[in-house]
Amino acid sequence: MSMIVKFGILIFSISWIYFELKKWFDFRKKKYTTNESFRLTGSETKRLQGAEKKLLDVRNDLKQVEQQINDIELRGKNVRRNKKGDFDSRSALGKKLNREIRSARKKELWLQGTLQKAETEKEQLGLAGWYRAKPWLEAEARCIFARITILGYTASVLILDYGLLIMTGFWWGLLLIAIWIGLYFLTRKFLEDELLLARLEL
């Protein structure tokens, strides 16, 4: 077994130990023991329900304002317009409709901004558990695949050396290190985003 192969085993072993210790230090006080740890808490659920109600109220208010604008447009269908598209203010009805539609459009604009904020708030509250789980997912994925990497690399060396009787010299060792490092980065993200996330059922 060449020095480069031993170096690879050493590097992968140190990486695995480092990731395990880092995970332990980072999460030792948080006590993430079950999937429930990453689900919404009672207070978060209440806040989410409040945000959903607020969002529904804003949508209803916006529909009412839009209907109000349509009604104003309908009432003014026979009123002349100026070049800007406003109702002709030389008539009393035109003045009144201009005043009403400006007020309604101002309210519509405000409600649209409020709606956007309410949607963002609801989305963030709904993802509170996921945000809490994400650091753990990343740490767990690193640890799991670090274990797979050290086992896979060692198994590859043993198969080549003793199974296929191929001497794992410098270039073979370097190639194996590169392959397993590549596999680590390629599959860790999949492990984090798909398998672990599915396990948490978030």
pLDDT for 17-71, tens place per residue? 998 898 888 877 676 655 666 777 788 889 899 999 999 999 999 999 999 999 9
**Residue 23 phi, psi (nearest 5):** -60, -45
Q: Distances in Å between the alpha carbon of 110 and those of 54, 70, 163?
A: 15, 18, 73
Q: Are 43 and 72 in contact, with CB atoms under 8 Å apart?
A: no
What does the chain come to in residues?
Answer: 202
CA distances from 26 to 29, 40, 139, 155 (A): 8, 21, 9, 31
Q: How many domains does the chain have?
A: 1
CA distance 72 to 94: 10
User: CB of 166 within 8 A of CB of 172?
Assistant: yes
The pTM is what? 0.58
pLDDT digit string, tens, across residues 121-164: 998 888 887 777 788 878 888 888 888 888 888 888 777 766 66
DSSP 84-113: TS-B-TTSHHHHHHHHHHHHHHHHHHHHHH
* pLDDT tens string 80-125: 888 788 888 888 888 899 899 999 999 999 999 999 999 999 988 8
* CA 28 to chain CA centroid, nearest Å: 24
Q: How far apart are CA 127 and CA 130, in angstroms?
A: 5
Q: What are 180-194's pLDDT values in tens digits? A: 888 877 777 776 666
Name the residue range of residue 166's domain. 3-200
